Amino acid sequence: MLKQRPFLIEILTAAGLIAAPFVLPHIGFAPTTINRILVWGLFGIGFDILFGFTGLLSFGQSAFYGTGGMVAAYLLIIVGFPHVVTALFIGMIVAAIIGYLVGLIALRRTGIYFAMITVAIAEVFYFVEFNPLSHYTGGENGLPGVPTPVFNLGFTTIRFDTDFSLYTFLAFWYFVGIVIALRIVRSPVGAVLSAIRDNPLRAAAVGHNIHSYKLTAFVVAAAYAGFAGGLLGVMQGFMPPDAFTFDTSGQLVMQTAIGGAGTLFGPLVGAAVWLFLSDFLQNAVGLGAAWKLVLGLVFVLLVVFLRHGIVGGLADLARRVTGRAAHHEAAESDPTAVSPAVVAAESTPIVQFSPSPRRPAPAGTGEAILQAEGVTKRYGGLVANDRIDFTVWRGELRGIIGPNGAGKTTFFRMLTCEVPPTEGRIVFEGRDITGFGVTRVCQLGLTKSYQVNQLFTRLTVRENVTIAALAEKRGPFRLDMFRNLSGVAGLDERVAQTLALVHLTERAELTVSELAYGEKRRLEIGLALATAPSLLLLDEPLAGMSPRERLETVQLLKSIARGRTMIVIDHDMDAIFELAERITVLHEGRVLTEGTPEEVKRNATVQEAYLGGVAAA
């Protein structure tokens, strides 16, 4: 989704829009149906950015559709505003503002809560339209008499008052809508949105302010809805109050799911199928009111069997036909399947010393980069960490070991501000970061790789690394919705560098689900590295690896440790003793001891903690 042949989709869209009014009537589409498809399609583009790309399923889009439409219709009919297009834009802006306010409330929660809240809010709009505001909106009668657009060019006047001329008007705006949406999807903002859909936790942890991005997607969806609502009034010459109903939101959701979410064109295709079938079932088959029952059944079957909708299904099919061969090749070069070539490659040194991305260190090394002072974490009566004092010096590679339940992971979670300490404070590069939150500390240059992989599983390796790198290149939030990804200075270099560092350059175009476990672990570290941390925390980087993968990863850690400060937790003692310059031993939530690997190995209390005193003698 991030890289595409330039303008191919735009050109195909334009061609399709030009051909449609000449082709579709021959296969049974009425001219008014075609126009309605376009309005639904445009409405759906915004919704797809929200649902398909950001993963937020709203059942309340009717609120914005109705609001935009009513505002535009009110301006044109009651106020007597002469310019149709200007009224449409005002409607869109009002819908976007309302979307912003609603988003502030609805986005306090995610998942099913979000879905429920959007339903409830949309219902409020419905009732407000019908009752308190019926003086302005016409209540259940709606607003009849929306004028069609007229452009006076001086020498001639263009009127859009026939089905065909209205088609050109609607098709123009649909095209504009698609072009804008494609730019958004290909922009850095679009990349972050799909990261939020796949793994909001990690998107926040690599330094993106995900709440602001979600709000952005919500406002964009509301704006599209508002404009489409205005077009609905213009198309029908009447602004119907049922634009506000739950049915409208539901139909949009179903059309998008039928067509395929996350494709931008899915809603258009879905609308075409929906409206065609509803005409066909009612008129040609003569089902009468039962058409909706049949469509409901079709919808349920589609959700059960065709998970990516029509457009998604076609894309899968195309990929299967054309991409089969390439795919196989990729699978065969899987390094876990030990082929002679791989074994040969293995005997050559893995470490290539690619320069690793790192922020310039403030002058004067040798000072403390991270200090934890009296850090305590209590969960109810359980004390996970008890008054830990801990200092890491710039350039150091520190190991933390301790038996299970010693409080290592809790300690890490506090250092990266995933959870706040109950007591104590954490100072990073001279700044008190206690209570900052993951996004902010990552922006300051402190991040970690997770014990359990936290990747963007539906995206490719390259996209994964790109998303992490974007956070450092662009800051926590930026609205560069119309900039191409390649326009971000230094991004490609950073991505290439990181991929080389974790040895995934050859695997860059595969999606994460196609990687072997060891490769996923390396990508996990790569995500942290791509944010150019000055302090990198690694939570059990060797967990669950085969002996060969361990060897590789230890080499990798050594190579990235050059000129960087790192803290590593692991259970693999041999690896930790080999890697770390100093080791801190945690036991029952406290610091047991700290010293060089040799000192720690000889320490009697450490032996006791691990072996229960057997080896103490």
Q: Which of 15, 297, 317, 604 binds another protein (CB under 8 A)?
A: 297
Phi-psi label, residue 588: left if phi above 0, alpha if psi -120 to 50, beta otherwise: left
Q: Is 303 in the site for another protein (CB under 8 A)?
A: yes
Site for another protein in 258-287 (CB under 8 A): none
Greatest CA span in the chain, whole angstroms? 105
- How many chain residues touch another protein (CB under 8 A)? 41
**SS3 of residue 300 by DSSP:** helix
Query: Which residues contact residue 525 at a Cβ distance below 8 angstroms, ignoring those fewer than 6 apart?
Result: 449, 502, 538, 541, 553, 556, 557, 560
Closest to another protein by CB, 43 vs 126, is 126
Pairing of strands 397-401, 582-587: parallel
Q: Is 196 in the site for another protein (CB under 8 A)?
A: no
CB of 516 to another protein, least distance (A): 23
Q: Is 55 in the site for another protein (CB under 8 A)?
A: yes
Q: Which of 25, 28, 132, 145 binds another protein (CB under 8 A)?
A: 132
CB of 276 to another protein, least distance (A): 18
CB of 94 to another protein, least distance (A): 19
Reading the block at residue 538, the tokens are: 């690694």
CB of 130 to another protein, least distance (A): 7
CB of 308 to another protein, least distance (A): 11
CA distance 278 to 280: 5
CA distance 268 to 228: 13
Q: Is 48 in the site for another protein (CB under 8 A)?
A: no
CA distance 6 to 11: 10
CB of 175 to another protein, least distance (A): 29
Q: Is 306 in the site for another protein (CB under 8 A)?
A: no
CB of 577 to another protein, least distance (A): 36
Kindly report the backbone phi and psi dihedral angles of residue 587, in degrees, each rounded to the nearest multiple of 5, phi listed first. Answer: -150, 125
Q: Which of 117, 273, 397, 561 binds another protein (CB under 8 A)?
A: 117
Query: Which range of residues in 36-44, 296-304, 385-393, 473-481 is near another protein by CB under 8 A?
Result: 296-304
Closest to another protein by CB, 126 vs 428, is 126
Pairing of strands 565-569, 535-539: parallel
Using an 8 Å Cβ cutoff, are 535 and 445 in contact? yes
| Crossing angle of the two packed helices 62-74 and 246-259, in degrees rounded to 10 | 120
Query: Which residues contact residue 15 at a Cβ distance below 8 angstroms, ignoring those fewer than 6 apart?
Result: none
- As to burial, measured by CB atoms within 10 angstroms (0-12 exposed, 13-18 middle, 19+ buried), residue 163 is middle
Strand partners, 587: 590
Closest to another protein by CB, 108 vs 431, is 108
Q: Which of 79, 289, 343, 617 binds another protein (CB under 8 A)?
A: 289
Closest to another protein by CB, 158 vs 290, is 290
CA dihedral 325, 328, 329, 331 (to 10 degrees): 160
Closest to another protein by CB, 200 vs 589, is 200
Strand partners, 390: 372
Q: Is 296 in the site for another protein (CB under 8 A)?
A: yes
Using an 8 Å Cβ cutoff, are 522 and 498 in contact? no
Closest to another protein by CB, 116 vs 481, is 116
CB of 123 to another protein, least distance (A): 5
390: nearest Cα among 365, 362, 411 = 411
Q: Can you point out the beta strands (E) in 141-219?
A: 143-144, 150-152, 157-159
CB of 608 to another protein, least distance (A): 33
Q: Is 293 in the site for another protein (CB under 8 A)?
A: yes
Closest to another protein by CB, 196 vs 535, is 196
Using an 8 Å Cβ cutoff, are 71 and 94 in contact? yes
Query: Which residues contact residue 617 at a Cβ distance below 8 angstroms, ignoring those fewer than 6 apart?
Result: none
Q: Is 124 in the site for another protein (CB under 8 A)?
A: yes
Query: Which range of residues in 122-130, 169-177, 353-361, 560-568 is near another protein by CB under 8 A?
Result: 122-130
67: nearest Cα among 233, 220, 247, 226 = 226
Q: Is 136 in the site for another protein (CB under 8 A)?
A: no
Q: Which of 83, 183, 211, 292 binds another protein (CB under 8 A)?
A: 292
Closest to another protein by CB, 82 vs 435, is 435
Using an 8 Å Cβ cutoff, are 266 and 259 in contact? yes
Q: Is 131 in the site for another protein (CB under 8 A)?
A: yes
Would you give the distance in Å from CA 552 to the centre of its chain? 31
CA distances from 176 to 179, 211, 228 (A): 5, 27, 12
Closest to another protein by CB, 34 vs 121, is 121
CB of 514 to another protein, least distance (A): 20
Pattern 74-113, another protein, x by CB under 8 A: -------------------------------x--xxxxxx
Query: Which range of residues in 272-280, 288-296, 312-320, 418-426 is near another protein by CB under 8 A?
Result: 288-296
CB of 111 to another protein, least distance (A): 4
CA angle 249, 300, 242 (to 5 degrees): 20
Q: Is 418 in the site for another protein (CB under 8 A)?
A: no
Strand partners, 392: 370
Closest to another protein by CB, 112 vs 343, is 112
Residues that bind another protein (CB under 8 A): 51, 55, 57, 59, 105, 108-113, 115-117, 119-121, 123-124, 126-128, 130-132, 246, 250, 253-254, 257, 289-290, 292-293, 296-297, 299-300, 303-304, 307
